[in-house]
Amino acid sequence: MDEEVYKIAGGVIMTKLFNVHTTWGEGSYSPEKWIEYANSRGIEEITFIDFVPPGKWEEYKKAMEDLKTDGINVSYGVEVPAKVLKDTPPSLLEIFDIVAISERCFDKNDDVPHIMEDLFLQWTEKLPLIYWIRPGMWYKQYGDTLLGLEYYVDILKRVPEDRIILEVNRRYNIPPPYVPALLDELGYRFVVGVDVGSPEELPRYEIPILGFTFADAEE
């Protein structure tokens, strides 16, 4: 596991918050308010990922570029539902630091594992790096428990391990802990995401992952 991904301050507060939403998307905190919060809590780095309609991507990019970060290391990008991604020109996505693919918009009868596999194979040829965020939302809602590990591995084993990063989602506690453990052994990378739109939504408890314990909010 890349230890640089996880920086813990005093074992209590994560100094990096990944997958933070703002008022540009589904969050209730503006980017400016998040910067203010980060400075007050000793947070060094924030990755904003917002569900922004494609027609506002350029406007969103400019707002993030003009943001006064006050010393906070800020990266940003968009969450793109997998079904939307099929019709998105790569040139539109190249303007972002982060491109995050989520499993939104699927129906119960859709063959999600094969759809996601095809999308990842297609897009890892077009973009240098993809973050697979909220992995398991479809699985949590519709999947049979027998899918289990096979669901993730069947997708990822066909995708170059240096082209995709899996989010371990703290808000929904998905995917199951054994998935990051196996992916770590196979050489895939993952990051702990908080998936929140305000500080009040930050997890207030600790979850051990691969022998490490991450805490991303003050007690």
If you average pLDDT over residues 15-21, what whole number do you get? 89
Residue 124, C-beta contacts closer than 8 angstroms, at least 6 positions apart:
130, 159, 160, 163, 164
Range 3-214 has CATH code 3.30.70.250: no
Judge whether residue 26 has pLDDT over 80. yes
pTM of the model: 0.83
Q: What are phi and psi of 106, to 5 degrees?
A: -90, 150
Question: In this predicted model, which residue has the larger pLDDT, 22 or 184?
Answer: 22
Q: Where are the domains of the chain?
A: 3-214
pLDDT band at 138; cut points 50, 70, 90: low
* Sign of the alpha-carbon torsion through 126, 52, 134, 15: positive
Torsional class of 59: left (φ above 0), alpha (ψ -120 to 50), beta (otherwise): alpha
**Which among 214, 205, 147, 142 has a CA at the least distance from the CA of 179?**
147
Distance, C-alpha 119 to centroid of its chain: 17
Torsional class of 177: left (φ above 0), alpha (ψ -120 to 50), beta (otherwise): alpha
The pLDDT assigned to 183 comes to 72
| Amino acid at residue number 109 | N
Q: Which residue has the tokens 């991904």?
A: 5
| 20 sits in which H/E element | strand 16-20
DSSP 174: B
Judge whether residue 86 has pLDDT over 90. no
